[in-house]
Chains A and B, each alone.
Chain A
Amino acid sequence: MPLGLAPDAWRLLASGLLVTVGVAVCAAVLALLTAFVVGLAQLSRRTTLRVGATVYIEFWRGASALVQLFIAFYVLPLFGIDFPPFVVAVVVLGLNVGAYGSQIVRAAVQSVAPGQREASLALGLTRAQTLRLVVAPQALPAMLAPFANEAVELLKLTAATSLITLRDLSLAARMLVQRDGHTTLVYAVELGLYFLAALPLLLLTRTAERRLRSRGRAAPALTPVNPL
């Protein structure tokens, strides 16, 4: 076997990687939905929506995703809220990253000059039309780079799910080391796989940032980092 790993080692790592990517993709969909709902709620005229959004953001940004995963995994079942680790991982990571993502949505919408919004309202467009026809076409491209950035953070966060017994790439690698040794090799392969999975997103971030810069528009300031 190349690299001296057991014949089934690659299969084990690959099935772990599949779980990792599965959690990341499902959580990303949830995070994206959450980001738009919460980010737009923060810009709403209704005080209750604004306050609700702020409470949501501060709640999810307050503790690290790992602590939140542990609480969801160990404490919530005591109250009868008992889901398999995969579901816990997707929901907690999705809602957590969504809180950070909402700041990207808010910043991108706010980066569109208020004069444009006022002008289109003055021209008789409704608020919904203004958002869809004037704000969105400019705000959406500005979100691309920060979203890709956040997706990298999400992918890295998924490693935490191995600590709530989900058999992702990180847990697969640890089990493999425990069974066969080859510590350095397995961990190096694992790091390489995570990096390869993140690479398209990392490159996308770079390209999108460069494109915005060359158009003379600064990317919206990156919101507080998601701790990994």
Chain B
Amino acid sequence: VTFDPAYAFSVLPVILQGAWTTLVATLLGMAVALVLGLGFALAQASPRRALRAAIGFASLFLRGTPLLVQLYFLFYILPLYGVVLPPLVTGVIGLGLQYGAYVGEVYRSGIESIGVGQIEAARVLGLSRHRVWRHVILPQAFARVVPPLGNYMIGMFKSTPYLSAITVNEMLGAAMDEASQSFRYLEPMLIVGAIFTTASYAASRLLARVERGMPVRAG
């Protein structure tokens, strides 16, 4: 078996189309995760014990079970209850849920890393609870959460191939479709592997550069 450049070239358009879906799924999934994560973090900072416990368990459960199984669960069970969604939307929800739980932990540690003294001081100075969040906690927490969030986004990018299991034609799905028709696996699979490796390497380099340029260093 040898790598056939002509065949590789002919499957490239299909794979690039898949790459577009991969990109869309990553961006939308991350948007969902960022919002959900905020919900997870705020609920776990709530004074209500029952809410803290419930959300804490939900977050642990999401982080303790495989994304693939969560995707199948959403894909096969939502329609039974009348919720019929396009596979890509189901995939985005699945990615958003799983990564939202992780993002919530990132926010939480970002918030907890700010000394209680600062918050007490701000309260003593007469800032409202709302303004303490807005002007004291969040600006500092933000600088500390960007690097781990970047890593999770790269992680999510690499998780998108699971969406092929629920019929989304992202990069791996598109390549497998091609390969199973032509029975030629070498070229499509190597192209997909190469694109993933190059893109995530470039993204992690970029993230390292952003991290170095951050005004407030985590510490």
Q: A residues touching B (Cβ–Cβ < 8 Å)?
A: 58-59, 61-64, 66-68, 70-71, 74-75, 78-79, 152, 155-160, 162-163, 170, 173-174, 177, 183-184, 187-188, 190-191, 194-195, 198-199, 202, 222, 224-228
Contact = CB atoms under 8 A, between A and B. Distances in A.
Contacts of B102: 225
Contact of A70 (B65, B70, B176): B176
Contacts of A187: 69, 72-73, 76-77
What secondary structure prevails in chain B residues at the interface with A? Answer: helix
B158 A156 contact: no
Interface string B197-210: 11011001000000
Contact of B190 (A75, A152, A199, A227): A75
Given A63-B200, A183-B77, A228-B66, 7 more contacts: A61-B204, A63-B192, A155-B66, A156-B66, A170-B66, A224-B151, A227-B158
A78 B186 contact: yes
A70 B176 CA distance: 9
A226 B65 CA distance: 14
B154 A195 contact: no
Interface pairs A-B: 8 shortest CB-CB: A62-B197, A159-B66, A63-B196, A64-B158, A227-B158, A227-B155, A198-B64, A156-B66
Interface of B: 1, 60-61, 63-70, 72-73, 76-77, 80, 98, 102, 148, 151-152, 154-159, 161-162, 165, 172, 176, 179, 185-186, 189-190, 192-193, 196-198, 200-201, 204
B152 A225 contact: yes
A194 B172 contact: no
B192 A228 contact: no
A157 B69 CA distance: 11
A70 B196 CA distance: 13
A41 to B, nearest CB: 19
A120 to B, nearest CB: 28
Contacts of B189: 67, 70-71, 74-75
A227 B159 contact: yes
A53 B120 CA distance: 47
Nearest to A66: B161
A195 B64 CA distance: 5
A222 B218 CA distance: 13
A160 B162 contact: yes
A2 to B, nearest CB: 21
Contact of B64 (A63, A152, A174, A225): A152
Contacts of B73: 187-188, 191
A63 B193 contact: yes
A121 to B, nearest CB: 29
Contacts of A177: 76
B193 A78 contact: no
A160 B102 CA distance: 20
B98 A183 contact: no
B197 A63 contact: yes
A197 B72 CA distance: 19
A202 B60 contact: yes
A113 to B, nearest CB: 16
Contacts of A183: 76-77, 80
20 contacts: A58-B197, A58-B201, A59-B197, A63-B158, A63-B192, A66-B172, A67-B161, A75-B190, A78-B1, A79-B1, A152-B64, A155-B66, A156-B67, A159-B68, A162-B68, A202-B60, A202-B63, A225-B155, A227-B155, A227-B159
